[in-house]
């Protein structure tokens, strides 16, 4: 079990610990000051801590090896855990919106401004650290080349290609950092202007942000639970690996299904003419083993065919060739 936990998503594990500390600190500050925005961010941090701990265990379980009863493995288990986490986020969003609406209708002053500001600054620093960690994890998982501020751009660009737990941490802590900043502004402005309704508005906006996160994560992980095709960039990478073998001339069929954070590859490849069955088998296993060197690929099922001299891959090339042929026929 310990070995399995070591394989869990690191970003979600770190985020769970960080948000547990924040939830305790914010809870104390909310109880002392009576701030609605502080209460909202307390719920948010508590929900994040619970979700990310839950998803960490889910990501570890998804690494369990296939069994006779479950020959396809446990890759999609992590999507199920994330969906449960989405339900928790939705409940917290409802409670936060409800609290914000009540504060708008009946604004209340808060005490201990210095305490509230200190906690919010701590939240921004901790959530910001976790967010940066998630961004680096996205860059690592998607094999992007970025350093410095380039990590921010690449993480937003490629977040859809990251593992489900990493996406959860990224979105939740993006909202957490934004929400803490919003809460800080609301608390300061409410105290300076006496317009305590701003506390309620800030709380309401944090709740709405939670709804957005819940909706986006829910859609993405439902697709993953059903079974979704690999993104084109992954498909191209796998196809290039197959075609890089000197004895492979074409790919007849290629089907790549995402299983949690791993990919299941099914393919028929075309070989040069003249190979014996034994030689063809050797080539097939050689290509399969080369694909399995990719840590993102969980398993490979592959069939072999002798070339039919009709180019099938890449797909774009086929479309362009067909387009030129149609144009030629029309000209004639």
Sorted by sequence, the CB contacts under 8 Å of residue 118 that are 6+ apart come out as none
Q: How many angstroms separate the CA atoms of 167 and 275, rounded?
A: 46
Q: d(Cα 137, Cα 161) in Å, to the nearest integer?
A: 11
**pLDDT tens string 41-87:** 777 778 778 878 888 888 887 777 778 887 777 777 877 887 888 88
5 vs 156, higher pLDDT = 156
Contact 124, 184 (CB under 8 A): yes
Half-sphere exposure at residue 96, Cβ-oriented, CA atoms within 13 angstroms: 31
Coil, helix or strand at residue 106: coil
The model's pLDDT over 103-140, given as tens digits with 9 standing for 90+, comes to 888 887 666 778 778 888 888 898 888 899 889 888 88
> Measuring CA to CA, how many Å separate 232 from each of 10, 91, 161, 264?
26, 35, 10, 14
Give 12 or 135, the one with higher predicted confidence. Answer: 135
User: What percentage of the chain's residues is helix, strand, coil (to nearest 5)?
Assistant: 70, 10, 20
Q: What is the pTM for the complete model shown?
A: 0.68
Write b or e for each residue in 268-303: b if 16 or more Cβ atoms lie within 10 A of its Cβ, otherwise e. Answer: bbbbeeeeeeeebeebbeebbeebeebebbbbbeee
The pLDDT tens digits for 80-113 are 887 888 888 888 888 888 888 888 888 876 667 7
Q: What is the pLDDT of residue 196?
A: 75
User: Nearest to residue 63, comparing CAs of 222, 220, 261, 225?
Assistant: 261
* From 16-20, 322-326, 327-331, the region with the lowest mean pLDDT: 327-331
For position 318, what pLDDT does the model report? 44
The residues pairing with 264 across neighbouring beta strands, listed in sequence order, are 257, 299
pLDDT in tens, 265-313: 999 999 988 888 899 999 999 999 999 988 888 889 899 888 888 888 8
Q: Is the pLDDT of residue 319 over 60?
A: no
């Amino acid at each position: 079990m310990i070995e399995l936990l070591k394989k869990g998503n690191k970003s979600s594990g770190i985020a769970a610990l960080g948000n547990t500390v924040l939830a305790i600190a914010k809870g104390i500050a909310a109880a002392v000051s009576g701030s609605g925005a502080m209460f909202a961010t307390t719920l948010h941090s508590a929900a994040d801590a619970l979700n990310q701990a839950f998803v960490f265990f889910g990501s570890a379980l998804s690494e369990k090896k296939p069994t006779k009863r479950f020959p396809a493995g446990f890759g999609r288990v992590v999507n199920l855990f994330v969906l449960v986490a989405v339900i928790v986020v939705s409940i917290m969003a409802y409670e936060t919106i409800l609290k914000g609406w009540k504060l708008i209708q009946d604004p209340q002053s808060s005490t201990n401004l210095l305490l509230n500001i200190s906690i919010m600054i701590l939240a921004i620093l901790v959530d910001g650290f976790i967010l940066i960690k998630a961004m680096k994890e996205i860059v690592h998982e998607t094999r992007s080349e970025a350093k410095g501020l380039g990590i921010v751009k690449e993480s937003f660009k490629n977040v859809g290609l990251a593992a489900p737990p990493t996406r959860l941490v990224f979105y939740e802590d993006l909202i957490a950092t934004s929400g803490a900043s919003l809460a800080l502004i609301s608390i300061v402005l409410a105290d300076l202007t006496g317009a305590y309704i701003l506390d309620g508005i800030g709380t309401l906006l944090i709740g709405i942000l939670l709804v957005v996160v819940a909706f986006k994560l829910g859609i993405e992980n439902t697709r993953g639970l059903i079974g979704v095709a690999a993104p084109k960039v992954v498909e191209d990478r796998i196809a290039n690996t197959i075609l890089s073998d000197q004895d492979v001339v074409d790919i007849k069929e290629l089907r790549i299904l995402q299983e949690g954070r791993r990919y299941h590859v099914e393919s028929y490849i075309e070989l040069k003419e003249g190979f014996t069955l034994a030689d063809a088998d050797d080539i097939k296993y050689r290509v399969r083993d080369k694909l399995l060197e990719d840590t993102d690929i969980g398993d490979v099922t592959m069939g072999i065919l002798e070339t039919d001299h009709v180019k099938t891959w890449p797909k774009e090339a086929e479309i362009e060739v067909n387009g030129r042929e149609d144009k030629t026929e029309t000209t004639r």
